[in-house]
Amino acid sequence: MAWDIHGLFQRHSRGISRALRRRGLDAETAADLTQDTFVRTLAAGPDNDAADHLKQAYLYRVARNLWVNHTKREALLVSVPWDDPQAVTAQACAPDTETIVANREHLHLVTALLETLPERQRRAFLLHRIHNLPMARIAEELGISTTRTWELIRETYRLIVLRTGGL
């Protein structure tokens, strides 16, 4: 029999949220992790008829694991004030709207070009450019020589440069 998630949520969600707040989370983050706890339990929770105290322990363990993951992710983030010289430099390097639009247009041109290529040539290019596979592996997968693989990829690059105007 499956767990009654609705009933478990009503009985334990406030307690889980409080436990997460005691671990130093703000109310909003604790609420998010509490909901994530029940979503994870709903998605992957055991289907057995465990005793109620075991279900509660399981929920608190899931919440604790989510808190650990959240804390690890937060430790990786670096916060820089807006007026810091590094932040100002980063903002100045951000592309303007015209650059973004031009880049999207180039992407559409390349996508259209790739759709017109023969299957083997398109596949060789995508394996090289998108999947970063070495030439020998691409050649093996396509059943052609390494030299022929490089010719296909080089020709695709040439066509892209011609189609996009060299940008």
CATH number for 149: 1.10.10.10
Instruction: Identify whether residues 11 and 44 lie together within a single domain.
Output: yes
Q: What is the mean pLDDT of residues 141-159?
A: 93
- Whole-model pTM above 0.75? no
Exposure on the CB side of residue 108, measured as CA atoms within 13 A: 6
Question: Tokens 């100002």 appear where?
Answer: 88
Instruction: Identify whether residues 71 and 100 lie together within a single domain.
Output: no
Instruction: Identify whether residues 113 and 72 lie together within a single domain.
Output: no
Instruction: Identify whether residues 36 and 64 lie together within a single domain.
Output: yes
Burial class (CB in 10 A: 0-12, 13-18, 19+), 42: middle
The answer as to whether 63 is a domain residue is: yes
Q: Is the pLDDT of residue 62 over 60?
A: yes
Q: Among the three residues 76, 104, 132, which one is the final residue of a domain in this structure? A: 76
The answer as to whether 90 is a domain residue is: no
The answer as to whether 89 is a domain residue is: no
User: How many independent structural domains does the chain possess?
Assistant: 2
pLDDT of residue 29: 93
Instruction: Identify whether residues 116 and 149 lie together within a single domain.
Output: yes
pLDDT of 37-56, one tens digit each?
Answer: 988 888 776 656 666 668 88
In angstroms, the CA 52 to CA 25 distance is 27
Instruction: Identify whether residues 115 and 157 lie together within a single domain.
Output: yes
- Output the 3-class SS for the chain: CCCCHHHHHHHHHHHHHHHHHHCCCCHHHHHHHHHHHHHHHHHHCCCCCCCHHHHHHHHHHHHHHHHHHHHHHHHHCCCCCCCCHHHHHHHHHCCCHHHHHHHHHHHHHHHHHHHHCCHHHHHHHHHHHCCCCCHHHHHHHHCCCHHHHHHHHHHHHHHHHHHHCCC
The answer as to whether 85 is a domain residue is: no
More confident residue, 166 or 135: 135
**In this structure, are residues 59 and 37 in contact, taking their beta carbons and an 8 Å threshold?**
yes
Q: What is the mean pLDDT of residues 122-148?
A: 92
Confidence category of residue 26, pLDDT binned at 50, 70, 90: very high
The answer as to whether 43 is a domain residue is: yes
Average pLDDT of the chain is: 87
Q: What is the mean pLDDT of residues 79-99?
A: 77
pLDDT of residue 1: 44
Instruction: Identify whether residues 9 and 72 lie together within a single domain.
Output: yes
Domain around 25: 5-76
